[in-house]
Chains A and B, each alone.
Chain A
């Protein structure tokens, strides 16, 4: 291996090790996982019930089959930790507002990369711990509530790919919020406005196909639709064929754009930063 290659490998190892510790840490919170599974299961059940009432009152207005809707809801609940914008890292906010970030800045690592690895690890460990019980039970439920299998093998593969992309987009968006926290004393307002907007625009409250067509076309192009909307619709076949390539391409575009924005805000913050609390 060349010296440059070796150096690069070492750099990678730093973040991999960081990721590993965080991932293992996430796995040790068993009670939280159990509570999460139960909550998410009940929530998914309720949501499907609401949509069932809606479908029965006007079946013609329903933009997808009921099986597709049930799949959307169950996958959303199973992988909640991957896409929910409000699940940010409280420790990052704390360390910025109370000045503990000093220690993070004393490490020979890039702050952006380190926090990115950390957020990915937390979300992955939380999601993986919770998804299997929910998916298993949902697959065994009777008809309208049942989680159907992916509509084809290629849809299953694309589902996994676009889900990982969507997870990265979510984290990249949260990174912008972390970096903006350097400029404000309390991040609460920022987080609240941001979380509400993202929930609505990414299709966490109502799936995007249920929005009016014009609005839907705009929303599909925003970065928020590149989070959970793409993988969940691919799974059930609502997005298929060439549309998959377009959607995945848009995800990659937004991922790159958000990372660029986050990194630049971070760079600016480092120059202007004052460490709070002496």
Chain B
């Protein structure tokens, strides 16, 4: 279970006007501005839920995921993931979660994918039987048998994302954070990724928290939506409640953004 209570996080951003004079001036004196990324964010997610975490760019989605995965320390507020405070005992916490950042890669660039997997096996101290079972299952579901022996640098984006998914689930995490997992993928790969996530959730009861701008992802994977804008939670509810008759999901969400002026 994930509980977030009144989490706040601010960043310092340096600002200056254009031009050489301004640049020279900022060498001596920097104007910094505090930007609020999260403003008293609270929610609770139960085991086995699939949650879509949506909002426009800069709303605070990635910050939330980074706090939940123990990478960032919030300024204030409480957060418990299965009874653990993520940033307090990072190493113990991250052993129980899986994370995918769609815009980054966790696989080693110059070596075959299987080498990266075996390294992860040792890093997470995965028992041999569990590793074997997980690897077999994912090789089959994601169609990896052809590409496991290929170096990561020679994979297409779609192939790489399938390997990334497998990599983040090898240690059977109870919670999976997906930060824009389908970004840049073609239609076939998108569908493969979505179907796999749904199957994984059904078969293993993995809690899925998904951030995305692709509303088809939301429709295919999640049951519940949390809408965040300007660092505040604006809406938290079932997907069906949101939708009005007949309208497609993209319009619904665009309408939502407009109505909240975010």
Contacts and interface: CB of A to CB of B under 8 A. Distances in A.
Question: Do they bind each other?
Answer: yes
Contact of A102 (B91, B92, B104, B111): B104
Contacts of B124: 107-108
A187 interface: no
B125 A13 contact: yes
Nearest to B180: A278
Nearest to B71: A105
Given A99-B104, A103-B106, A109-B91, A275 B123 contact: no
Contacts, number: 72
B205 interface: no
Interface in B104-129: 104-106, 108, 110-111, 115, 118-119, 122-125
A240 interface: no
Contacts of B123: 14, 17-18, 107-109
Interface in A92-120: 99-100, 102-103, 105-110
Contacts of B43: none
Interface string B64-94: 0010011111000000000000000011101
B111 A17 contact: no
A246 interface: no
Contacts of B101: 102-103
B240 to A, nearest CB: 31
Q: Which of A107, A110, A273 has the most C-beta atoms of chain B within 10 angstroms of its own C-beta?
A: A107
Interface residues of B, number: 30
Contacts of A25: 108, 110-111
B9 to A, nearest CB: 10
Given A107-B94, A108-B92, A108-B94, A102 B125 contact: no
Interface string A241-277: 0000000000000000000000000000011011100
A18 B71 contact: no
B11 A21 contact: no
B125 A10 contact: yes
A109 B93 CA distance: 11
Interface in A3-23: 10, 13-14, 16-18, 21
B221 interface: no
B99 interface: yes
A6 to B, nearest CB: 10
Contacts of B71: 102, 105-106, 273, 275
B172 interface: no
B62 interface: yes
B239 interface: no
B253 interface: no
Nearest to B13: A274
B147 interface: no
A273 B62 CA distance: 15
Contacts of A108: 91-92, 94-95, 123-124
Q: Which of B104, B105, B108 has the most C-beta atoms of chain A within 10 angstroms of its own C-beta?
A: B104
A105 B91 CA distance: 9
B66 A275 contact: yes
Contact of A106 (B69, B73, B108, B111): B69
Contact of A14 (B11, B110, B115, B125): B125
A97 B119 CA distance: 24
Q: Which of A25, A100, A103, A105 has the most C-beta atoms of chain B within 10 angstroms of its own C-beta?
A: A103
Contacts of B115: 21
Q: Which of A13, A16, A17 has the most C-beta atoms of chain B within 10 angstroms of its own C-beta?
A: A17
A17 B73 CA distance: 29
8 contacts: A13-B122, A21-B115, A24-B111, A106-B69, A107-B123, A108-B92, A109-B91, A110-B91
Interface of B: 11, 62, 66, 69-73, 90-92, 94-95, 97, 99, 101, 103-106, 108, 110-111, 115, 118-119, 122-125
Interface of A: 10, 13-14, 16-18, 21, 24-25, 28, 99-100, 102-103, 105-110, 270-271, 273-275, 278
Given A103-B99, A103-B106, A105-B94, 13 more contacts: A17-B123, A18-B122, A21-B119, A25-B108, A25-B110, A99-B104, A105-B70, A106-B69, A107-B123, A108-B95, A109-B91, A110-B91, A273-B72
